[in-house]
Amino acid sequence: MNVSTEFIITGLFVFALAGFLGFETVRRVPRLLHTPLMALTNALSAVSLVGSLVVLGREYSIYATILGFVAVVASTINVVGGFLITDKMLRMFKPKERPQKPVPGEAKASS
Amino acid sequence: MKDAVSYVLNPDSGRAVSIGLLYLAAAMGFVMSLKWMSDAKTARKGIMAGEIGFVLAVIGTLIMPGITGTGFTYIAIALLVGAAIGVPLGLLVPMTAMPQRIALSHAFGALAAALVGIVEYFHWQPEISGFVMAVLGIEIVLGSLVFTGSLMAAGKLHEILPQRPFVYPGQIFVNFGVLAVAIGFIVALFINPSLSWAIPILIICGLVFGVFLIIPIGGADMPTVIALLNAYAGIAAALLGFVLSNNLLIVAGALDGMSGLILAIIMCRAMNRSFRNVLFGAFGQLAEVSDEHGEMGSIRSASYDEAGEILKNSRLVVIVPGYGMAVAQAQHKVRELADTLAAEGVEVKYAIHPVAGRMPGHMNVLLAEANVPYEQLLDMEDINPEFPQVDVVLVLGANDVVNPAARHMKSSPIYGMPILDVDKAACVMVVKRSMRPGFAGIENELFFNDKTLMVFGDAKDVMGELITEVSGRRDALSL
| In the predicted structure, residue B199 carries a pLDDT above the cut 80 | yes
pLDDT at B285: 47
Chain A contact set for B54 (CB, 8 A)? 43, 47, 49, 79, 83
Catalytic residue set of B? 400
> Looking at chain A, which residue has its C-alpha nearest residue B316?
A101
The pLDDT of residue B473: 61
Q: For an interface test with A, which of B147, B259, B317, B371 has the most A Cβ atoms less than 10 Å from its Cβ?
A: B259
The answer to whether the CB atoms of B44 and A41 lie below 8 A apart is no
Instruction: Say whether A11 and B112 touch across the interface (CB within 8 A).
Output: no
To the nearest whole Å, the CA of A13 is away from the closest chain B CA by: 10
Query: In chain A, pLDDT over 90 holds for what percent of residues?
Result: 46
Comparing alpha-carbon positions, the chain B residue that sits nearest to A110 is B344
Q: Name the pairing type of β-strands B452-456 and B392-396.
A: unpaired
Are the beta carbons of A109 and B386 closer than 8 angstroms?
A: no
Q: In the 8-state DSSP scheme, what is residue B301?
A: B
Read off the pLDDT band of B338 (50, 70, 90). Answer: very high
The pTM (predicted TM-score) of the whole model is: 0.86
Residue range B4-45, pLDDT digits in tens: 445 667 777 888 889 999 999 999 999 999 999 999 889 989
pLDDT above 80: residue B337: yes
Burial class, B298, CB count within 10 angstroms (exposed 0-12 / middle 13-18 / buried 19+): exposed
Mean pLDDT for all residues in chain A: 84
Q: Is the pLDDT of residue B299 over 70?
A: yes
Note whether B238 and B258 are within 8 A (CB).
no
Q: How far is A31 from chain B (nearest CA, A)?
A: 6
Q: List the single best residue of B70, B79, B119 to mutate versus A (max A Cβ within 10 A).
A: B119
Residue B3: is its pLDDT beyond 50?
no
**pLDDT interval class at B476 (50, 70, 90):** very low
Asked which of B166-170, B277-281, B306-310, B403-407 is least confident by mean pLDDT, the reply is: B277-281
Task: Give the pLDDT score at B125.
Answer: 77
- pLDDT (tens digit, 9 = 90+) per residue, A27-46? 899 989 999 999 998 898 88
Are A71 and B116 a contacting pair at CB < 8 A?
yes
Minimal CA separation from A30 to chain B, in Å: 6
**Min Cα–Cα distance to chain A from B257, Å:** 8
Task: With a cut of 60, say whether residue B142 has pLDDT above it.
Answer: yes
Inter-chain contact B368–A14, Cβ cutoff 8 Å? no
- CA B232, chain centre distance (Å): 13
Q: For residue B122, how many other CB atoms are within 10 A of its CB?
A: 14
Residue of chain A whose Cα is closest to the Cα of B474: A111
Instruction: Give the span between the Cα atoms of B400 and B407, in whole angstroms.
Output: 12
Which of A2, A38, A57 is closest, CB to CB, to B263?
Answer: A38
Q: How much is the pLDDT for B284?
A: 45
